[in-house]
Structure 1
Amino acid sequence: MPSPTIGVFALQGDVREHLRLLTEIGVTAIGVRRTSELAQCDGLVIPGGESTTMAKLARTFELFEPLQERIRGGMPTFGTCAGMIMLADRIEDGAHDQETLGGLDITVRRNAFGRQVHSFEGDLDFDGFDAPVHAVFIRAPWVEQLGPGVEALATIQSGEAAGRIVAVRAGHLMATSFHPEVDADDRVHRYFVDLVRQS
């Protein structure tokens, strides 16, 4: 595949950081606010932000169903933090009537680590990487349950949350609880770009 075009859901959340990292890796990165932009994408990143607001804005801008169709149709998609919630089939502690795009057979717990004041950083072993990933968690979810065919890529290694799953992949979909876009380490994004190129 020539250099893929990777979209970043751009109606809400950490859009600029993802666009910058993807551009630095050498792919074409575009913000996605309408269906015409989505149609150009070989892959999509759903950033951190506020998952309930994302779902409502996607409805308002008539992107919700087109996103679902592309995800079901096999478009590689990577969700970070709120993006993980948006890709999850099931949510614990979600807002009333909260919608997700779905696609990942996981149950996530929203704000699992607590409120903004409980944000933290730490090093994680990430499946397939030679050295740990420095992970930044901000009002982050974690994965309560994996469905068949979903693999855990990283778990918390110490403290009260030890063993909690914070990165997953199932086929063309992947998600992290943490924010890889706020760090200079681009390996998680490169992992996703490789996924797009293989699809």
Structure 2
Amino acid sequence: MVTRRSPKLDKKQAVDTSLRLLNELGLDGLSLRAIAKELDVQAPALYWHFKNKQELLDEMATEMYRRMVADAALSPDLSWQDRLLAANRGLRTALLRYRDGAKVFSGSRFTGTEHAVEMEANLRALVAAGFELPQAVRATTTAYFFTLGFVTEEQGVEPLPGERREGFDVDERAERLADFPLAAEAGAELFQDYDEGFEEGLRLVIAGIAARYGVA
């Protein structure tokens, strides 16, 4: 009987390397073959841990989350509004550390249960503030989806802080859209000052939640 030996490659080592390569190659360029080459192993060593690229992305998203919550814990004394603000500010900061970070996070399945700790705390805080549980779920996921969508668009223009893709020059865009003055002027709001845009957008979402459910 042949005994199957565990590979020398550690799963966390593979995930850490994948996150580092993500900043160099982007999501489209990140492949199991590229990761194996960086680790100086054969591709089958990775398949021991990951059946396919999506399983790898699930582990990457989980590690991103672990790093995010390790950086800052939310105070239990926060109001529900401040809790949603802090949680989603932290999520955006975490996603912006990685090229295509929002794309990796979106649609991935967490492989551990660490995320349930913060999820439980957030839902408890909202229920204590007067939300029904279904409303609390809708409120937290709506803010979360806003953040994921915002950062996905943000990284489409600025893949990493300090980088800017060609074709998103606001002045050039305004010249091209000169016959559409409002649309032309809107470029300054759409493709600049992402910190301010995110903050205002998130506050709009939270104000809408409060108005919809009547919870102050």
Q: Which structure shows the bigger proportion of residues in helix conformation? A: 2
Please classify the TM superposition score into its range, dividing by the shorter chain length. Answer: under 0.3
| Structure of larger gyration radius | 2
Q: Which structure shows the bigger proportion of residues in strand conformation? A: 1
> What TM-score do you get using the length of structure 2 for normalisation?
0.25
